[in-house]
Structure 1
């Protein structure tokens, strides 16, 4: 009896041990007998993948295929300033077993992924060689990637400076511009002081006129505002900032380089506006030393290099406009406006990546109309329209007196007014042919005195005995 009881006890013990093994395997490994039979409830998701009403075995098979596709279509970007880098799929691995182990039935669950620290370190070093990442920072970035991919939704963008604050301590001078001036006027000094230390916040728009509104520097002249705005524009072209509004004057502001003017005109509402598309802030610094005004932009360095340049500068000679006046002495010329050459400046920008030209951008074409030269000359004397002198020097009145039978003589006798008009053209009193004959045979100087002079309005001018015009 006892041996039989002993055998039964051993069988029960073996059965309990087997059941315990199944439960332990089911609990810790998720591959137990009961786990494979048990199904997930309705509305059970792992990221975007639906495993509702699937057994654990079927769910594992499905997720293995889904994770494989997800790794092939991985789209995780690491951003620093103007550069974004795709994380290679080899760096990220999705864990099916760990994901199923923590999956709760009837709920939305996250994916479990792991990021290779060595692989990530290589990616950072190759693409952001101007920045230094410590081991702790590499681990922080890897952890953030693992968190971002838990949703299983692509693409994902990770801005590194948000999670690696030490990168902000690596700021440096990114752009600069200068303006030569012997003495610093009060207006420029006030603008310089107000701009110094100004921060350009991430993803914001900057208006030159708004930033100075209500400040003492607002009393500066438009020309002084234009000088500082042009300096800021020159420096901005050395960054990836977006220029939203920029204007030029009708005449290039003194000492401003052609192609880099940013005119400010408060009456016309001309402003200088740009946007910062980056996730980091920048600081504007200004100073005046050794007769030179300097403006610099400080911030986290860009991956690319931006180099604006004047590709072509064309000048146009001014035309000359001549005005006539009786008040200008004969032979002399008065210069009213000296005129100014016209300019056309074509500006382009090189975008360099690791020292190699990546893009050659069109920036602007600025044109300044030439200003004409204006001169005033002595009024030109017009010929007397009533002077009927023939080419041989004989006047028509003289020929008429020599031939009384001519039609001219007949007309004179019938119409005394005609005789007066003809003689008045030669300066001879009417009814005196002898004087008329002497006048026609006189010197050339006598003829010059008899000419009628007209002003610009077409009116006959009068002169005194000294030959000066009478108003």
Structure 2
């Protein structure tokens, strides 16, 4: 090898060694200069909520990476639709820290850029809220609000109320309805319904039936009309998630109300029907007359679950027989002072079904008790009349008396007879103190 070739190889090796020694030190600096990463941000520069004043772009980028990763790890996003809540994975939001740093203007407040995966949101909604129509939700508005939440790196729990993103048609559906027969309709009740066709059931505000009547200032309705309205409203509330605070019943079930559905109201006795709409949205009570029948409905957002009132554990309570005794009745007679009537007991439960019509839970709402009316029988306490004493007659007098009786003329005087003892009809009794009429007479004689 000649000297020229030797020096050529030596020069190449020297250049390579120099490159390897100097690149780690000056390569990063050159990269920063080329891409302007070494340039610092001026005072008052923000990217989202993060202050990057006097930081290089590399420092700002590292800080944004740390903050967004912590946010996605700790952030809790909750989707709420009426009474149901479900968690949304924060990872449906993808942050763009590099683009945010690159497009940031020094000395100004700049947004923290991010994108929302709409397809992931739609999939989560279908799984968690299958009753909500896909077409009824504004997904663009939901994605926009999620971007604002993420850009500001809001801490803590964020609740997304889906009812705010529904179209108007979805917000006014019939969620509960009931129909009562024409026998409950009075002219006064029909006039009241014409004057008060709708009533607002506001969110998280207790509704008092007596307060409603006072606000309506209608003196034409009697107690029966008001009980018809309150019982209709009770039927409707059982089909919702509304909380029931007070519900009463009388001692005797009115003939116009079905067992288990009475909600008695009385201003004098302070008997009220009170409930509360605990949903985030308002609802409307709609009353009208349909085919001479009383129709009631609650309109508003469809519930996530289905609710149904179910009657259980019905019991029939047999009346007792109570015996009274009176000296005013003739001997051997009795009277039925009060016929007996069965009592009843029944429980109302509200059952909740999920989207697959599976029973989720049930709660006892009320227990209505109507005591039996006892049978009352009144018996005479008079003593039996004394027996007729027989006297001894001389021989042959019987024939003489008989002949005289045959010859005696007939008169209009009635014949005196001892009244027969009337036996009461066979009845079952639970009263251990019941006595027969004969025993009653005997007890009276012993008392004398």
Q: Output the TM-score relative to the length of structure 2.
A: 0.69
Give the 3-state SS of the residue equivalent to 2:183 in structure 1: coil
Cα offset, 1:56, TM superposition: 4.2
Cα offset, 1:233, TM superposition: 0.9
Cα offset, 1:96, TM superposition: 2.5
Please point out which of 158, 166, 169 is paired with 2:160: 158
Give the 3-state SS of the residue equivalent to 1:371 in structure 2: coil
Cα offset, 1:53, TM superposition: 7.5
> Separation in 2 of the partners of 1:333 and 1:96?
100
Cα offset, 1:34, TM superposition: 1.9
Q: Measured at CA, do residues 277 and 136 of structure 1 come closer, stay the same or move farther in structure 2, by a change above 3 Å? A: closer
> Separation in 1 of the partners of 2:447 and 2:189?
54
- Deviations, residues 178-225 of structure 1 (Å, cap 9, x unaligned): 322436223432443355222223333211111221535443222321
Q: Measured at CA, do residues 76 and 213 of structure 1 come closer, stay the same or move farther in structure 2, by a change above 3 Å? A: same
Look up the match of 2:400. Answer: none
Cα offset, 1:382, TM superposition: 10
- Deviations, residues 52-90 of structure 1 (Å, cap 9, x unaligned): 886543343243233223223332222222222322233
Q: In the TM superposition, what are the counterparts of 1:1-400 in structure 2 within 5 Å?
A: 25-26=35-36, 32-35=37-40, 47=49, 55-100=56-101, 111-134=112-135, 137-149=138-150, 150-164=152-166, 166-169=167-170, 171-182=172-183, 184-215=185-216, 217-290=218-291, 292-354=293-355, 355-379=357-381, 381=383
Q: Greater relative contact order (Cα 8 A, min sep 6): structure 1 or 2? A: 2
> Separation in 1 of the partners of 2:350 and 2:370?
21
- Deviations, residues 322-346 of structure 1 (Å, cap 9, x unaligned): 2222223444433333243222212
> Separation in 2 of the partners of 1:183 and 1:307?
23
Cα offset, 1:21, TM superposition: 10
> Separation in 1 of the partners of 2:137 and 2:207?
36
> Separation in 1 of the partners of 2:341 and 2:54?
85
Cα offset, 1:352, TM superposition: 0.9
Give the 3-state SS of the residue equivalent to 2:240 in structure 1: coil
Q: Verify the 8 A CA contact 2:94 2:114 in the aligned structure 1.
A: yes
Uncovered stretches (5+) of structure 1, i.e. residues with no partner: 1-18, 27-31, 384-444, 446-452, 461-471
> Separation in 1 of the partners of 2:106 and 2:209?
58
Q: Measured at CA, do residues 329 and 83 of structure 1 come closer, stay the same or move farther in structure 2, by a change above 3 Å? A: same
Q: Measured at CA, do residues 183 and 353 of structure 1 come closer, stay the same or move farther in structure 2, by a change above 3 Å? A: closer
| CA root-mean-square deviation | 3.9
Q: Verify the 8 A CA contact 2:44 2:51 in the aligned structure 1.
A: no
Q: Verify the 8 A CA contact 1:131 1:167 in the aligned structure 2.
A: no
Q: Verify the 8 A CA contact 2:232 2:296 in the aligned structure 1.
A: yes
> Separation in 2 of the partners of 1:214 and 1:191?
13
Uncovered stretches (5+) of structure 2, i.e. residues with no partner: 1-28, 386-417, 419-440
Give the 3-state SS of the residue equivalent to 1:349 in structure 2: strand
Q: Measured at CA, do residues 350 and 144 of structure 1 come closer, stay the same or move farther in structure 2, by a change above 3 Å? A: same
> Separation in 1 of the partners of 2:268 and 2:331?
45
> Separation in 1 of the partners of 2:136 and 2:31?
42
> Separation in 1 of the partners of 2:315 and 2:367?
11
Q: Measured at CA, do residues 314 and 23 of structure 1 come closer, stay the same or move farther in structure 2, by a change above 3 Å? A: same
Q: Measured at CA, do residues 342 and 71 of structure 1 come closer, stay the same or move farther in structure 2, by a change above 3 Å? A: same
Q: Output the TM-score relative to the length of structure 1.
A: 0.66
Q: Measured at CA, do residues 263 and 111 of structure 1 come closer, stay the same or move farther in structure 2, by a change above 3 Å? A: farther
